[in-house]
Structure formats: C-alpha cells, structure tokens
Amino acid sequence: MIKEQRGAVIILFAVLIPFLMCFAGLVVDLGNLYAHYSKLQNAADAAALAGGSAYAESGGDLDRANEFAQNYVTQNDPKASFKSPPKIEEKNRKFYYVVVLKERVPLYFLRYFPQIGSDTEISAAACAQISVQRQASGNNSGGFVLFDNLFTAKQGFDSVNSIQNPDNHDIAQNKNNCSTYHGNIVIGDESAFNEASKNVYLQPEAFGTDGNSQTTVNEATRQGYINIPEYNGSLEVTDYYRDTVQQLMTAASTYKITNQNKNYLDSSSLDQLSSQGVDVIYSNIPNLDIGLTKAIIGDTNKPLYIICDNINNFNTSADMTGGRPIVLIYNGSGSFAMNCNDGTFMGDIYAPFGSVFINDNHHLFYGSIVAGNRIQLQSQGYYIQRNYTATGSGGSGSGSGGAGSGAGVSYRVNLVNISEVL
C-alpha cells in the first residue's frame, strides 16, 4: 500500500500549483492595489482641502480652485489624474468641493489570467465642506459688551422678509426689496436658533460697494456674504439692567417724567432736555409714545438714555446722522413696536424682560437690539452693528458713535463623508 501511494504528494502539489500561484498573485497584487489606493486617497483628500480653500478665498472661482487642487495631486501622486473635473455641490444650503481621482495600477501575477490585463484602474473620492465662519465683532466702541452684537434675543429672532425670494435662491436679490444685516445675531433658545438658522440673512457687502448690485442667495453664500446666527445656551441679557439701568433710574441727575398728562416725547422736547444737559430720561407713566422727526441736538459722542417702564409705540422717520444717539431701555415684560419709515436711526434698543417688534420700512439702523424675549423684523431694513452704551454706571460717560468693525468673515474647510453629499 505504501509503495502504491509513493509520488502522491508530488501529484497533489502539481495540482495545487495554479491555486497557490493565484493566491500569491492575489496577495501581491491586492497589497499593491491597496498601497496605491491609500496614496491616491491621500492625494484626493489634499486636493479637496486645497481646492475648497482656494474656492472660498477667491470668492467662488472654480478654475482657480481646480488649479490648486491639481497642484496638490501632482505633489502627492504624480501618476494620478482627475476622473472627472472637480465640482461644487450644494446641499441644504451648504457647499462642498468634490474631487474624484483615478490611476492605472500595474498587475504582476494577475496579468497572466485571461480577461484581467496587465493593469487596472482604481479611483478615490474626497469631499470638502466649505463653511462661513464669522469672527466676533468685539467691543468696538467702549460700551457694555452685550451690545457688541447686532441682535441678541433670549427666546427667538425672526425677520419676515430677510430676502426677496425665499423659495428660489437662484433669483437675483435687490437690496431695495430685502433686508441686510452686518453684525452678530445671537439667540439663546436652541429651538428658536434652529428655526432662525433655516433662513438666509444677507450682509450688505452682497450688493457691492455701491449697494446697487444684484446677487443671488447662492452667489452671496459662495462669496461669504451670509450672516449666520449663533447659539448661546447660557445667554444672560439682564446683567446690564442690574449693573447699570437700575442705578440710572434712581440717580439724582436723571430727569424723571411723572406727569400723567405727558405721555408723549417728541424731537422738540428731547432737544430741550438735551440742551439743558440731560443725559438720562426716566418715565414710569403708562403708554408712553415716542416720536422722532429729526436728529437730537447735542454731543454726538454722548448717547441720550430714555428709560421707560411702559412704552406703547416708538415712531421714527428721522435722519439722526449728526445728532445724539439714543439708548432706549424698556423695562416692561410685554412688547413694544418700533415703526420706522425711511431715515436713519442711531442708537441701541434694550428690552431685557420683553420683546421688540420693528416695522422697518427701508430704514437704516446703526446700533444694537437686545431682548429678553423675541426680536421680530416685519419689513425691509438695513442693520449695521454699533455700540452706543456709555462706559461706567453713571450714564454720562463717552459712548462712541464711531463706526464699528462689524463681524469679519473667514472660512472653514474640512473633509466630510462624500456619501452624505452625493
């Protein structure tokens, strides 16, 4: 029996040789393919990040972005090339720079098998998300830091007509038919923040240096001219009331309105008080109305404080340029309406326990609005952040009416899973 089985191992080995060669070929060639794929994927990632950054910094120049991406492909994997031209994908108002690379990889053992060939093509894809990041405006005028935001709302923020065509972001926007916002929009309630983030808030730069250019929302987004709201779950808006406003109401230098028959303040009466050296006016009468038809005379670097426990309406059609800015403080827990009709308002609005509603009919607003509840804008207005609150607690410090720097714009480019985009 043993003599009859002699040589069986040789026969078995001869039978297994093709399978062993195939296995060895798979190990060598698949290992080679994996090594090339890893290098190709690294090149794709580098190209996506470089191209995405160049696209953002160039204001949406796709040719320049592709040029940068090609340079990174050449540096990281000279044998690779674009399988298809890089492109910009938009999804849920977010922009992505997509790169797909290809490369021919030689085969060593598998080339001897029919229908496989001497080489094969591999591909790798990468996707970079381009996000607009706004820098905090900072304390640009020496006033209370809370007013360094354009809008600060504890419970919610809404602009009814933030853009002209909310359903089609490829239709050109006209500044005369939508609002613009330059400065931080900070919201303290998470659900209200999520709702506000669904809207688009254009910065004034979207309409060019002359303000007369037209743009689409998509183009403004590509150029970084979108004002993105911020969420602050620990937002506290009553500090200024506790630290400053309560002292102003009881200060000996504060002019107090207690006459029940005097429930209206107009430009003339404010001019008279200002010329008498009054810096702070406090009213506890019910249903106070305020009407501005012209700039308030006095030091343009010293705000006039108007503090009221109850306000019915605040109407202004004035061009306050060249006059005293106004810091209006509403102590009530309800809401008041600010009706603007053209003109230019310069000052801060503070309602630490209530809401502010603004009917902004093509009104230019320089200042800041802070509300313990909601801020709602009803029409079209142009808002630029300034901080007019005076330093110190006496209300007589020198708040500045100088131009604020506003919020800077930068870009964050990071890799994301391409399956989430395509």
Question: Is 227 a member of any domain?
Answer: yes
Report how far residue 381's alpha carbon sits from residue 363's, in angstroms, rounded to the nearest whole number.
5
Residue 75 has pLDDT above 50, yes or no: yes
Report how far residue 378's alpha carbon sits from residue 381's, in angstroms, rounded to the nearest whole number.
9
pTM of the model: 0.63
Nearest Cα to Cα of residue 71 among 47, 37, 95: 47
Nearest Cα to Cα of residue 55 among 46, 41, 68, 39: 68
Model confidence over 313-337: pLDDT tens digits? 899 998 998 899 999 999 999 998 9
Model confidence over 219-273: pLDDT tens digits? 888 888 899 899 988 888 998 898 889 999 988 889 998 776 577 899 999 999 9
> Domain check: are 110 and 161 in the same one?
no
Q: pLDDT > 70: what percent of the chain?
A: 84
Average of per-residue pLDDT values in the chain: 83
Check if the beta carbon of residue 207 is closer than 8 Å to that of residue 214: yes
Question: Is 140 a member of any domain?
Answer: no
Q: Nearest 5 degrees, angle CA 316-CA 403-CA 251?
A: 65
300 falls in which pLDDT band (50, 70, 90)? confident
> Domain check: are 103 and 195 in the same one?
no
pLDDT at position 413, please?
A: 84
Question: Is 51 a member of any domain?
Answer: yes
Question: Is 223 a member of any domain?
Answer: yes
What is the extent of the structural domain holding 268?
Answer: 145-406
Model confidence over 147-202: pLDDT tens digits? 889 999 999 999 988 888 888 889 999 888 889 999 999 999 999 999 998 899 99
- Name the token pair of 148: 């360094």
> Domain check: are 209 and 319 in the same one?
yes
Question: Is 54 a member of any domain?
Answer: yes
Report how far residue 225's alpha carbon sits from residue 159's, in angstroms, rounded to the nearest whole number.
17
Residue 81 has pLDDT above 90, yes or no: yes
Nearest Cα to Cα of residue 412 among 63, 68, 134, 46: 134
407 falls in which pLDDT band (50, 70, 90)? very low
Check if the beta carbon of residue 381 is closer than 8 Å to that of residue 362: yes
Nearest Cα to Cα of residue 57 among 47, 65, 69, 66: 65
> Domain check: are 97 and 245 in the same one?
no
pLDDT at position 140, please?
A: 38
Q: How many domains does the chain have?
A: 2
Question: Is 292 a member of any domain?
Answer: yes
Question: Is 139 a member of any domain?
Answer: no
> Domain check: are 90 and 219 in the same one?
no
> Domain check: are 212 and 281 in the same one?
yes
Q: Nearest 5 degrees, angle CA 290-CA 291-CA 294?
A: 135
CB half-sphere exposure, 91, CA atoms < 13 A:
14
> Domain check: are 301 and 169 in the same one?
yes
131 falls in which pLDDT band (50, 70, 90)? confident
* Chain centre distance of CA 78: 38
> Domain check: are 174 and 114 in the same one?
no
pLDDT at position 287, please?
A: 83
> Domain check: are 64 and 153 in the same one?
no
> Domain check: are 234 and 280 in the same one?
yes
> Domain check: are 123 and 161 in the same one?
no
> Domain check: are 293 and 372 in the same one?
yes
Question: Is 240 a member of any domain?
Answer: yes
